[in-house]
A and B are shown apart, each in its own frame.
Chain A
Amino acid sequence: MDLQNSETLKDTLSQTAEHSGGDNWIMHHIMDGNYLDFTPFGKIYLPHLEIFGLDISITRHVVFLWISAALLIFLMMKVSKAYKNSLVPKGVSNFFEVLIVFVRDEIAKPTIGKGYEKFVPYLLTAFFFILLSNFLGLIPFSATITSNISVTVVLAVSSFLVTQAGGIKKNGVFGYFKGLIPHGVPVFLLPIMFVVELLGLFTKPFALAIRLFANMTAGHIVIYALISLIFVMKSYFIAPVSIGMALFIYLLEVLVALLQAYIFTMLSSLFIGMAVHQDH
């Protein structure tokens, strides 16, 4: 399903590119670059770095990755400091407490069950990092790092690793891989089932990565496409419609930003739960 999604996405992209006269300006906005784009005020070019032949330049997305991480650390430090003074939250802490308790009680607890406490810090980090990055992407002149597949792949891989580590720690290496195959499968099907389940193990994070990436990319592309309608049609009269629709998509993106953070965390938690408690 995700594969299909990305294909349609790609079709849309190429079509939009054709319609806008070959100049792929939408892609420039969506994708990474070696400068911070403050058009029409100018651009800030970022340094180029290389290590062992790997290009590790500080790109736009790296900058916003750091901004997101720094902001998250700053916010959470503030929240945790507030608890030192009194156990009763106030203001910002109150808001974040709702989310933290939500992740703990509505995501981790029901899906992982017994022993969920160990995974709560990871899930909280993933949730807030994705949430903050998604929202950060909605601010003008910023970039959405979660609409870059490199970022979502890393997030999905870490979820995958946490899942495997949790499963192996709980059930042992042998027990864990044995537990992958459901009970009551005929013996001659065992090799096939093992392969299928092993594949399933890898499709889960793959789906996680693609889902987050596609969802965060799609909204932005639609907004840009709607705005570009004004220039494609070369008419002022289309502007109110375009802007209205773009605003609607933007509001929808606010919802999607929250929803995708929730879905990513929820599914990660679900996979962890399945790996830790294999008997159901």
Chain B
Amino acid sequence: MLANILAFSSMYSSEGGGGGLLSVDGGLAFWTVLTFLALVFILKKFAWKPILTALDEREKNIKDSLELAEKSKEESKKLLEENKTNLLKAEEESRKIINEARSFAETMKNQIIEDSKSQAQKIIASASAEIERKKEEAFGELKNQVAEISLQIAEKVIKQNLNTSLNSEVIDKYINELQKN
């Protein structure tokens, strides 16, 4: 290919001093080869490799981050769903507990009322029995006292009446009667 160009350019290199426009200058080509080779190797080692690695790394980073974000989103969605169901469950549970407690309280109340009623009745019953007893006792005492008082009155009356003549007659009569018996 170089020969090609050289042949091609030699046709046009007649004009001018140091070769024509289309002639390949060995010196410049030599420097270009050196410079370009050095450029390729230097840039490859110190520029392209770090830059391309950094770019790849960043691309991977971005991809990973996006994937992670997607995964996190999915997870949070799942968690939210789970939370929702948990909350629902908890609500149901609490409602059940409250209902249970309420019914328990109801039965407790009823039982307490029942108990207290029966207790009261018992107390009333015992109280009335006591009253009855006391009444009877009081009546008995009253009777005794009344009998005693009436006896004392009768004694006094009889003592007074025995002094009279009439009484003596009556008394005599009763004595007679007694004798007859």
Write the residues of chain A forming the contact surface with B, with a CB cutoff of 8 angstroms.
Answer: 3, 6, 9-10, 13-14, 17, 24, 27, 30-33, 49, 54-59, 61-62, 65-66, 69, 72-73, 76-77, 79-80, 83-84, 87-88, 97, 100-101, 104, 117, 120-122, 124-125, 128-129, 145, 148-151, 153-158, 160, 202, 205-206, 209, 217
The reply to whether B12 and A202 contact each other, CB–CB distance below 8 Å, is no
Given contacts A154-B36, A158-B36, contact A32 B44 (CB under 8 A): no
Which of B16, B54, B58, B61 is the one whose CB lies under 8 Å from A27? B16
Question: Closest CB of chain A to B41's CB: distance in Å?
Answer: 9
Mostly helix, strand, loop or mixed at chain B's interface?
helix
Write the residues of chain B forming the contact surface with A, with a CB cutoff of 8 angstroms.
Answer: 1-2, 4-5, 8-9, 12, 15-16, 18, 21-33, 35-40, 42-44, 46-52, 54-55, 57-58, 61
The reply to whether A56 and B30 contact each other, CB–CB distance below 8 Å, is yes
The reply to whether B21 and A149 contact each other, CB–CB distance below 8 Å, is yes
In the complex, the chain B residue whose C-beta lies closest to that of A60 is B28
**A77 CA / B22 CA spacing, docked (Å):** 35
Which of A55, A66, A101, A206 is the one whose CB lies under 8 Å from B55? A101
Residues of A within 8 A of B1 (CB): 156-157, 160, 202, 205-206
Residues of B within 8 A of A160 (CB): 1
In the complex, the chain A residue whose C-beta lies closest to that of B58 is A87
The reply to whether A76 and B46 contact each other, CB–CB distance below 8 Å, is yes
The reply to whether A149 and B58 contact each other, CB–CB distance below 8 Å, is no
**A121 CA / B49 CA spacing, docked (Å):** 8
The reply to whether B43 and A121 contact each other, CB–CB distance below 8 Å, is yes
Residues of A within 8 A of B61 (CB): 87
Residues of B within 8 A of A13 (CB): 21
